[in-house]
Chain A
C-alpha cells in the first residue's frame, strides 16, 4: 500500500529541501510533513521518504525511531503529553496523570476507543514555572488542577 505526497505537499517538500545547504539536512522537517500527511510514520511512509531523500529506508527508520515526537503508529486526534520530570512532579503532575487515566479509562501509551485521546508521559517541556502542565498536540496547558484538566479534555472533540 504505497503512499505519496499530494502535489501541494510535494511543493512544500521542494521548498523545504531548497532552504538547506544539503538535502539530507531537511530530514526532520520532511518527516514532519510526512507525519502530517500520512498521520503517522509507518513502513510505507518511511520507504517513501527514503526514496524522496535518496537514502536507504533503514537509515530513515533509524532517525524516526530516535525522536519521541515521531509516531510510528496511529494515535488519537489529541495527543495528551503530561510532563513528569522533577519540577512538575513536585507540583503534582502524578495526580493529574492519574486523574486523566481515570477520566478517560486508558493507561499510559493507550488510545481511547473513539480515537479521541492518546495519553503519554513526557519529560520536561520547559514550563516548570507553571507546573503541573501538559501538552496536547501543539498547545501547552499550564497551571493545571483536576478541574481545569477536566474542562480542557471536555472541550476537545
Chain B
C-alpha cells in the first residue's frame, strides 16, 4: 500500500501565487519522481555543470551570492555554512540532507521527497561537491516510509546512469549517497542529534563547540542541510544567483514553502516569494478561516515558534526579519491556524505534551522542565489550575531558555510562554472557572 495510494491521499491543493515556481514547479507532473521525467525537464544539467565546470570555491560563492538561507528553521546562510568546512582537512567530509521533518505544522519536505525526489537528490549532490564530500547521507525520518522509498529509487536510478558513483562524468570526483532512515525521534532533526543518530547512537545532541563544520560525523567536517534548502540548488545553479536574489526581500532572498494547516479553508503546501503579506496569504490564497469563524491565533513557523494574535499579523510579511520583528520566527514555515473555537489552554497543553515526549532527556532543564510545564498545563486544562500556575510556567520557561545543550529547550519554552502571554485572559478565566471558557473545546 506504500506508493501511489498514499500519494493520492496527499491531495492538499497546492497553489502558487503569480510568480515563477522554483521548488514546486514540477510538483503536479505525474511520475515526476522518475529520472526520465526529471531529466527531460532539464534535471541534472546543473549537476553536470558543477562537476564539469566549477570549482568548489566558485560554487560556494555562487550560493553565497544567491542569499539562500537554511530552510529547516534556523535560516543560516547556506553558502556561509559550507565555507566553514576546512578545505585542507585530511579527514573525510560528509554532507547530510536533513529529511527528518518533524516540526508540527510542517509537511513541505515530505512533499518534495515524494513528488520531486530527484530535485532533492540533485541538490544533495551539489552541496556535497561544494564541500568536496564523497559520501552523502539523506537522513529520512522513519515514519516517512514512502518518501524514503521514493528517494531510494531516485538514488538507484542515479547510480545506474552514472550520475553518482565513481568518476562522475569522467571526472575525478567520486560520490556515494546513502538513504538512511531514522526511527522516531523529533530531536533527530537537530543537526548534532541527527549526527549522533547517524553514527548509530541515541539521538543526543552534541556539545558545541566544536561545530559540525569542523567536527561533525565521527569527528569529521560535516554539513547538514534541509531538504528544501537543497532542492533550491538546481534552479539556482541553472538560472544564476542573481535571479534567485532578485526574488524576496533584502535579507530574505528567494522563495519559501509554507505548510498551512489547522482551521483554514485550503490547507496545503504553498510556495511564496519571501516577503509576501501574511494576512493576504491567509485570507486570500488559503481561503481564510472556514465556516464563518474568526481567526483567533496563528503560529507562523512551526510549533516551536510563538503564536501570534490576529492583530499582530496585520503588517507582518512572510520573511525572516518581519516575523522576527513581530515577536515570532519564520522557522520552518509551518503555519498553524486556530479559530475562535480553539481552547488556547488545550492547544498549549497539546504542544507542551509534544515537547515533553520528544525531549531527548540529556540535559537537566529540558528533561525535567518540559514535563513539569506539561503537567501544570494539564491540570489547568482539567480545571485544577491555581492562580500562581501561569507565572510559574513563565518562570520555568525562562529558566529553560538559553540554558540547554541544544535549541530544543528554547523550542519547548517559547510556545509555552507565548500562549500564556498572548491569551492571558483566557488562561485566567479557565483557572478561575475551573473549565474551558471557549464554547466548543478541541475535539
Chain A positions near chain B (C-beta within 8 angstroms)? 19-22, 24-29, 31-32, 53, 62-63, 66-70, 81, 84-87, 89-92, 94-95, 122-131, 135, 138-143
Cβ contacts under 8 Å, B11 to chain A: 130, 143
Chain B positions near chain A (C-beta within 8 angstroms)? 1-2, 5-6, 9-12, 92, 94, 101-107, 109-110, 135, 141-146, 176, 178, 180-186, 197-203, 217-218, 259-263, 267-269, 303, 334, 336, 338, 342, 346-347, 350-351, 354, 357-358, 360, 442-443
Given contacts A25-B199, A140-B6, whether A124 and B102 have CB atoms under 8 Å apart is yes
Given contacts A28-B181, A87-B336, whether A129 and B101 have CB atoms under 8 Å apart is no
Given A87-B105, A125-B143, A129-B267, 8 extra CB contacts under 8 A: A22-B218, A25-B218, A53-B200, A67-B203, A86-B262, A123-B102, A129-B12, A142-B10
Cβ contacts under 8 Å, A129 to chain B: 10, 12, 107, 259-261, 267-269
C-alpha gap A67/B303 in the complex (Å): 21
Cβ contacts under 8 Å, A89 to chain B: 346-347, 350, 442
Given contacts A22-B218, A63-B202, whether A126 and B143 have CB atoms under 8 Å apart is yes
Q: Which residue of A lies closest to B106 (CB)?
A: A126
C-alpha gap A39/B1 in the complex (Å): 20
Q: Which residue of B lies closest to A143 (CB)?
A: B9
How many Å from the CB of A33 to the closest CB on chain B? 11
How many Å from the CB of B360 to the closest CB on chain A? 8
C-alpha gap A3/B441 in the complex (Å): 50
C-alpha gap A92/B12 in the complex (Å): 17
Q: Are B107 and A128 in contact (CB under 8 A)?
A: yes
Cβ contacts under 8 Å, A66 to chain B: 185, 202-203, 360
Of the candidates B144, B183, B201, the one whose C-beta lies within 8 Å of that of A32 is B183
Q: Are A62 and B202 in contact (CB under 8 A)?
A: yes
Q: Are B144 and A126 in contact (CB under 8 A)?
A: yes
Q: Are B183 and A28 in contact (CB under 8 A)?
A: yes
Cβ contacts under 8 Å, A63 to chain B: 200-202
C-alpha gap A45/B135 in the complex (Å): 30
C-alpha gap A89/B40 in the complex (Å): 42
Q: Which residue of B lies closest to A87 (CB)?
A: B261
Q: Are B135 and A21 in contact (CB under 8 A)?
A: yes
Q: Are B1 and A126 in contact (CB under 8 A)?
A: no
Cβ contacts under 8 Å, B5 to chain A: 139
Q: Which residue of A lies closest to B348 (CB)?
A: A86
